Amino acid sequence: MLKSYISISLIIAVAIQLICQLFKVVFYSIKGGRFSFRYFFSPGGMPSSHSAFVSAITTAVGIKRGITSDIFAVSFVFSTIIIYDAMKLRKTVELHSHALNGLYTRLNGVLADRSVGGDRVKFPEMVGHSLGEIAMGIVVGVGFTLVIFKLVV
């Protein structure tokens, strides 16, 4: 019997992360009326793939090692930090980007001479998550992991 060199928990978490990113491509392409693969690399949006990823790995660790294990505690703590940052810190960055882009637009390009090479720098506005996006990410991460462990593992 061949020994697995990659944890099934990691494979599940990465697969869920990729599924969430692909969902964003489809969802935002339909919403925008044209295909846009750039959403695959977007850190914001619905669902939160960060929340799904860390929820999946934490759930898998809980299933395999038990929720009273030290490794589950570590996974849970780091997942909580990542989810909090995705919702609070990155959402604040998103609001700042939106405000700066709006300010630039209102100034009607007056600052264009001061930007690098004369090109306008547009700050990305989809980097954080709402509470609903975070919640959906957690539901996807925990739900898919439970289903996969029930069916496959």
Q: Determine the Cα–Cα distance for residues 122 and 104; give it in Å rounded to an integer.
A: 9
Residue 83 included in any domain? yes
Number of residues that this document lists for the chain = 153
User: The whole model's pTM is what?
Assistant: 0.74
Q: Would the CA dihedral through 22, 149, 55, 130 be positive or negative?
A: positive
What value, to the nearest 5°, has the Cα angle with vertex 123 and ends 117 and 129? 165
Residue 107 included in any domain? no
Q: Determine the Cα–Cα distance for residues 111 and 140; give it in Å rounded to an integer.
A: 43
Residue 33 included in any domain? yes
What value, to the nearest 5°, has the Cα angle with vertex 8 and ends 127 and 73? 65
Question: How confident is residue 96, by pLDDT bands cut at 50, 70 and 90?
Answer: confident
Residue 121 included in any domain? no
Q: Would the CA dihedral through 126, 132, 136, 141 be positive or negative?
A: positive
Given this model, what pLDDT does residue 2 score?
45
The yes-or-no verdict on residue 89 having pLDDT over 90 is no
Question: How confident is residue 75, by pLDDT bands cut at 50, 70 and 90?
Answer: very high
Q: Determine the Cα–Cα distance for residues 62 and 68; give it in Å rounded to an integer.
A: 8
Q: How many domains does the chain have?
A: 1
Residue 137 included in any domain? yes
Residue 2 included in any domain? no
Question: How confident is residue 42, by pLDDT bands cut at 50, 70 and 90?
Answer: confident
Residue 114 included in any domain? no
Residue 111 included in any domain? no
Residue-number span of the structural domain to which 70 is assigned: 8-94+128-151
